[in-house]
């Protein structure tokens, strides 16, 4: 065949169709695939078994903890707050045990059951409805007497509500606005009591028991324990209130805390919750309780919350808490009480003095010269109802202080070289164009810098101010002063603590009042303490800065915090040196003038009677008060000083606003300071 011409085959060659149709070893192929599949299964099972072993054996504790953390409901209970003591460990603020009835909602408790429980509870427990707020009464009225409230509104508004043109929230707001105290008399005490209980039961609590009644009596607790089955979810907890052994003394400085019902202030809720506080935790609201909240607030006990077969919550101890740190303050409570009593005695002695009839407030502060420790913060206000004690006003209320600032003015003049040490200036009245005569209380004649302090020369200070402002004095001529001198004088005053924050460790300190008008005459007033206003604490820091050779130290109220169990030091409030005056020679002239004031001149009465030598400077500031729509001219009396003169320990400041009227009287701060300081120096 022709076909064979083209294709010749030998034994070593196969025909094409033999290659294409060669037998395949199916058995071998299947076995190979099964082996591969088996290997994959073995590897996969090995991985699964290893993972199972890793989870169940190696990491069992880790995953069990993760599961517990995910499913556990934890409840925090506040530990007792740290206590507060004076420098001699006399108790100023202690903890008093308080019984609180709480409610932890059982599972699946119906709304109708809640109302029944609230009604039953209100029948057996005093909810103090007389303290119910106006807003709470309106809420209760809207619940019990909504239709009566609706009837108080105009027909137009009522129709709009019925036609659903006004929402329920809007109509509720209208009714609340229309309600007055007469309408609220429709509420019975029983309705008020039920509403208070139900509202407390419904408060959000994040799974924590809610306080229903604080400060429950032992009789009420005994009744609840006997009838717990009638009040599902109710229980008793021990909480802590604050006790003040010395009552009003230093009360505003020590501060206050919220109750569990008040809880965390709404305006600070987010910041407190970020620190793991609960809404109903008691927190510091003022004073040291607020300033040192992080130290006084202990670590909370933690309980695990679960439910029994009846749906009643059960708390199991999970972590034990710890009381907050005990704070040691700088106060000497015995001296503080002595000082307050001395001030009250002075008020009583001056009660019938017609020239002190507007004197109703006395401030006094004493600081440790070397550490800034606040030994005394005294502020007594005489009212028609008795005496009110608020030492915080020594860092809030500011007054013009008169000649007490002259020590700072002299230092400034010497440091700026506008006067020289021992330079004599004739103290005689001066006249600025278009202004009344300016003069010292008594025309002193020639005085040097030291006498200018001890005898309180206004003229000497006026010349310092004029030279500071680049003015040349001409009798009855204009006074052209560089107004930058105001800022320069303020800067010097601030180096002593005047017109700036003293940096005391109490909240809301004020810096006083700064005058805004600018002219030459006002600069002269500034130099004699008749322009800016200062607090008593600023004045005390000013005196302490002079006494400590120019070292300005922040006043401190808290010295340290101690562990409540071991008593070991856990927090130390270190001495804070803010700044240092740089001219010791100028400061020495100031100190000598203040010592001479006590030894021979205006500060001599009362203060010179101590065996311990003192240094001081008086001040009188002219002011006015408004009485029955009339302006009455008065004088504020001030005094700053320190003792002993050679090695100062205590610096003090006294401020008495409206200390005299109509007729000259002695500077009562001299007697006040004498009567207070004799506790220490007599």
With a pLDDT cut of 90, the percent of the chain lying above it is 67
Whether 282 has a pLDDT exceeding 50, the answer reads: yes
> Given pLDDT bands bounded at 50, 70 and 90, which one contains residue 313?
low
d(CA 76, CA 250) in angstroms, rounded, equals 32
Q: Which helix (H) or strand (E) holds 302?
A: strand 301-307
Q: Reduce the DSSP state of residue 325 to 3 states and report it.
A: coil
**Residue 38, pLDDT score:** 84
Overall average pLDDT of the 57-63 stretch: 73
Alpha-carbon gap, residue 69 to 71, rounded angstroms = 6
Q: Are 602 and 456 spatial neighbours (Cβ–Cβ below 8 Å)?
A: yes
Which of 330, 403, 440, 673 is catalytic? The answer is: 403
Q: 94-108, 162-176, 605-619: which has the minimum mean pLDDT?
A: 94-108
Instruction: Give the model confidence (pLDDT) of 220-255 as tens digits.
Output: 988 988 888 899 989 888 778 899 999 999 999 999
Cβ neighbours of residue 265 under 8 Å, at least 6 residues apart? Answer: 258, 283, 285
Query: Does the pLDDT of residue 62 top 60, yes or no?
Result: yes
Range with top average pLDDT, 13-17, 279-283, 657-661, 664-668:
657-661
**Whole-number Å distance between alpha carbons of 635 and 630:** 16
Closest CA to 261 of 242, 281, 240: 281
Q: What pLDDT band is residue 315 in, cutting at 50, 70 and 90?
A: low
- Cα 89 to Cα 94, 303, 333: the distances in Å are 12, 34, 10
In this predicted structure, what is the pLDDT of residue 218?
85
Residue 439's φ and ψ, nearest 5 degrees, are -155, 170
pLDDT band of residue 106 (cuts 50, 70, 90) is confident
Lowest mean pLDDT among 97-101, 130-134, 139-143, 396-400: 97-101
pTM of the model: 0.79
Least confident of 168-172, 193-197, 515-519, 662-666: 662-666
pLDDT of res. 70: 54
Kindly state the average pLDDT of the residues 191-195. Answer: 93
Quick check: 574 and 639 in contact, CB under 8 A? no
Average the pLDDT over 44-64 and give the result: 77
Q: What is the percent of the chain where pLDDT is above 70? A: 90
Residues 389, 363: Cα–Cα separation, whole Å? 10
Q: Which pLDDT score is estimated for 49?
A: 82
Q: HSE of 638 in the Cβ direction (CA atoms, 13 Å)?
A: 31
Contact 560, 659 (CB under 8 A): no
Taking 60 as the threshold, does the pLDDT of residue 72 lie above it? no
> pLDDT band at residue 115, thresholds of 50, 70 and 90?
very high
Residue range 142-149: mean pLDDT, rounded: 92
The pLDDT tens digits for 568-589 are: 999 999 999 999 999 999 999 9
Nearest to 496 by CA among 542, 529, 534, 553: 542
* DSSP run (H or E) holding 101: strand 91-103
Lowest mean pLDDT among 275-279, 474-478, 638-642: 275-279
Residue 14 pLDDT exceeds 80: no
Indicate whether 658 pLDDT > 60: yes
Least-confidence region, from 92-106, 452-466, 508-522: 92-106
What's residue 425's pLDDT?
98
CB contact at 8 A, 518 and 465: no
The reported pLDDT for the residue numbered 269 is 86
Give the integer Cα–Cα distance in Å for 366 and 603: 18
Contacts of 347 (CB under 8 A, 6+ apart): 359, 362, 380, 382, 387
β-bridge pairing 534-535 and 398-399: antiparallel
Q: Which of 52-56, 205-209, 244-248, 383-387 has the lowest mean pLDDT?
A: 205-209
The pLDDT mean for the chain works out to 89
- Find out whether 586 and 575 touch, Cβ atoms under 8 Å: no
pLDDT at 371: 98
The region, left, alpha or beta by phi > 0 then psi within -120 to 50, assigned to residue 568 is beta
CB atoms inside a 10 Å sphere around CB 22: 8
pLDDT of residue 611: 92
Q: Which residue bears the tokens 């600081």?
A: 367
Q: What value does the CA radius of gyration of the chain take, rounded to a whole number of Å?
A: 40
Confidence of residue 30 (pLDDT cuts 50, 70, 90): confident
Tokens for 673? 């300071």
Active site residue 403: yes
Scored b (16 or more CB within 10 A) or e, 398-421 reads bbbbbbbbbbbbbbbbbbbebbee
Please state, as a whole number, how many other Cβ atoms lie within 10 Å of the Cβ of residue 256. 15
**12 pLDDT higher than 60:** no
| DSSP letter, residue 131 | G
Q: What is the mean pLDDT of residues 649-678?
A: 94
Q: Which residue has the tokens 């006043």?
A: 555
Q: Which structure tokens are listed for 91? A: 């108790």
| Mean pLDDT on 384-406 | 97
């Amino acid at each position: 065949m022709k076909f064979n011409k083209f294709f010749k085959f030998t034994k070593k060659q196969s025909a094409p169709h033999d290659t294409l149709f060669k037998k395949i070893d199916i058995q071998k192929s299947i076995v190979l695939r099964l082996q591969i599949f088996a290997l994959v299964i073995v590897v996969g099972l090995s991985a699964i078994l290893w993972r199972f072993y890793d989870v169940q054996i190696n990491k069992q504790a880790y995953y069990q903890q993760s599961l517990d953390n995910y499913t556990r409901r934890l409840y925090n209970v506040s530990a007792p707050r740290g206590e507060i003591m004076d420098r001699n460990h006399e108790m100023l603020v202690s903890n008093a045990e308080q019984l609180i009835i709480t409610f932890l909602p059982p599972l699946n408790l119906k709304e109708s059951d809640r109302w029944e429980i609230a009604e039953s509870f209100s029948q057996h427990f005093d909810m103090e409805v007389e303290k119910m707020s106006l807003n709470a009464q309106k809420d209760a009225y809207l619940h019990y007497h909504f239709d009566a409230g609706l009837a108080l509104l105009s027909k137009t508004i009522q129709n709009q509500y019925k036609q659903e043109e006004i929402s329920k929230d809007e109509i509720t707001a209208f009714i609340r606005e229309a309600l007055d105290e007469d309408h609220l008399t429709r509420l019975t005490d029983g309705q008020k009591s039920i509403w208070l209980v139900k509202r407390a039961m419904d408060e959000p609590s994040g799974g924590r028991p809610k306080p229903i009644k604080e400060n429950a009596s032992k009789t009420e607790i005994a009744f609840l324990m006997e009838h717990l089955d009638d009040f599902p979810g109710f229980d008793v907890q021990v909480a802590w209130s604050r006790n003040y052994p010395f009552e009003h003394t230093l009360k505003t400085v020590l501060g206050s805390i919220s109750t569990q019902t008040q809880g965390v202030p709404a305006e600070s809720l987010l910041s407190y919750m970020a620190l793991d506080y609960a809404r109903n935790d008691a927190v510091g609201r003022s004073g040291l309780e607020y300033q040192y909240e992080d130290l006084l607030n202990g670590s909370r006990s933690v309980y695990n919350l679960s439910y029994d077969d009846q749906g009643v919550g059960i708390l199991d101890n999970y972590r034990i808490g710890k009381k907050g740190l005990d704070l040691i303050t700088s106060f000497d409570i015995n001296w503080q009480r002595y000082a307050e009593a001395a001030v009250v005695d002075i008020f009583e002695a001056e009660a019938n003095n017609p020239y002190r009839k507007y004197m109703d407030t006395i401030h006094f502060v004493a600081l440790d010269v070397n550490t800034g420790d606040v030994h005394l913060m005294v502020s007594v206000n005489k009212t028609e109802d008795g005496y009110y004690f608020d030492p915080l006003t020594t860092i809030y209320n500011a007054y013009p202080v008169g000649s007490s600032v002259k020590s700072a003015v002299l230092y400034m003049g010497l440091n700026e070289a506008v006067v020289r040490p021992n330079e004599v200036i004739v103290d005689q009245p001066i006249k600025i164009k278009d202004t009344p005569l300016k003069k010292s209380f008594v025309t002193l004649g020639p005085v040097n810098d030291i006498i200018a302090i001890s005898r309180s020369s206004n003229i000497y200070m006026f010349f310092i101010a004029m030279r500071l402002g680049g003015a040349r004095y001409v009798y009855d001529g204009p006074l052209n002063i560089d107004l930058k001198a105001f800022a320069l004088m303020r800067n010097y005053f601030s180096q002593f603590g005047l017109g700036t924050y003293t940096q005391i460790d109490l909240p809301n300190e004020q810096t006083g009042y700064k005058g805004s008008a600018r002219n030459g005459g006002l600069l002269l007033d500034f130099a004699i303490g008749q322009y800016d206003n200062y607090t008593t604490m600023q004045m005390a820091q000013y005196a302490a800065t002079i006494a400590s050779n120019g070292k300005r130290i922040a006043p401190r109220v808290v010295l340290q915090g101690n562990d409540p169990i071991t008593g070991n030091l856990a927090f130390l409030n270190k001495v804070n040196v803010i700044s240092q005056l740089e001219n010791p020679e100028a400061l020495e002239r100031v100190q000598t003038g203040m010592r001479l004031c006590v030894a021979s001149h205006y500060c001599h009465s009362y203060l010179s009677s101590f065996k311990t030598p003192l240094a001081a400077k008086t001040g009188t500031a002219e002011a006015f008060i408004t009485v029955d729509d009339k302006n009455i001219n008065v004088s504020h009396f001030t005094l700053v000083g320190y003792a002993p003169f050679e090695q100062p320990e205590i610096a003090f400041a006294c401020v008495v606003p409206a200390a005299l009227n109509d007729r000259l009287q002695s500077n009562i701060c001299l007697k006040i300071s004498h009567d207070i300081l004799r506790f220490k120096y007599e």
